Structures are given as structure tokens and as C-alpha cells.
Amino acid sequence: MGAPPITRIKKDAKREMKTLQRTIFWLMALTLPILGGMPDPAWAETKPPAKCQPVEEKGVKAEGYISRTFRKDRKDIYKEFAELGHTRVAIRPFFMSTTSKVFAVGRCVPAYLARHILKTALKYTSGVESLVTQAFLPTHWVGVATTIFDEPSQQLITAEQLGRLLDPSLNDAEFHALYREFSVQDELVPYFGLQRPNVKKVK
């Protein structure tokens, strides 16, 4: 038998490269929380927060996942996330039907946009049961079913607290005050069956 045609070799190499890229992506998505998630925000204790740029100047990025169940409708769902404007959507179907239940809102995201993205996330993910502390987040960023933060960076919330965040009467300051209150991290975290001080606790 002769050597395979060069076009077939190129197609096989391209297919293998795409498979490798997908494998690397999912390995990073699943192992970052184990390795510690995002860097510890040491700057949060010493550097005062800068004034927020309006979304007309710096738009909000909504990033994360929806359930694989909705993959056929993903284009319409992306439009739904962005329908209020000033929102760039970087959301994709998760590789499993059940998504993470972690949600994150940067401190400069307007309340009306945060609520809209949150309500939309509740429709297309497995729900919201945990919030990420804002010190770990980009200012104009929303994480939907995000997987890149470890448990010491988060706080569990109740259905009642979630409902309070969805209150349309809250202005920006009131919304973010509640978010910060609900996302205060625990002083102690489980570590190999023991309770240890949370080294990622934001002071």
C-alpha cells in the first residue's frame, strides 16, 4: 500500500489538534478550582477601588456556561443574555447537563444588568447556590455557572437571599451592598477532614 494522500494527513492532523485543544480547555476548567482558582487578591487590602467606568465606556462581559440541554438553542440564549445592551457574551454549553451553581458579579456591573443576567442564568443553568467574593473579580464581569473559583473564594446563599438580589427596586449601591453581605467568606474551611483558617479570606 502506498502512503496516504497529503490531504488526508492534513485533515487527520487538524482533527487531532481540535481534540487536543478541547481536552486542554476542559482540563483547565476543571482543575483551576482544585489548584486554587484565581490569584489571591492581596491588593484588595491596600489599594483603594478605582471609580467605576460607566457601561457606555466599558461594557460588561458575561462569561461561563449553560446546561448542555440547551445547546441547540444557544444562539438565541446568547441574545437573551445580551438583550439589554452593553453586554458581551462569552457563554457556551457545559459538557454535562448539570452545571456549576456558582454566580459572580463584579463591583461595577449595574444592578439592572446583574439582575437580568442572573434571571437568565436561572433559566438555563442548574441554579445559583453560591456567590464569589467581589475582591476576586474583574470590575465589569459576570460569571455564569463559573468553574474557575475554589470554595474558599465563595459563600453559599439561601433562596431567600437570592430573591432579595432579584428585587427590581434595588439601585446599584443597594444591590452591591447586599451582594457583598451575602458573599462574605467563612473564617474556617474544610481541609482533609479538618477545619482550617481560610487563607483566601478577604479582610
95-117 pLDDT per residue, tens: 988 999 999 999 999 999 999 99
Which pLDDT value is given to residue 81? 98
Q: Which of 12-26, 39-53, 141-155 has the lowest mean pLDDT?
A: 12-26
Which pLDDT value is given to residue 38? 42
Query: Model confidence over 126-154: pLDDT tens digits?
Result: 999 999 999 999 999 999 999 999 999 99
How far is it between the farthest Cα atoms of the chain?
74
Q: Is the pLDDT of residue 24 over 80?
A: no
Q: Which residues make Cβ contacts (< 8 Å) with residue 55, sequence separation at least 6? A: 86, 110, 113, 140
Distance CA 55, CA 112 (A): 12
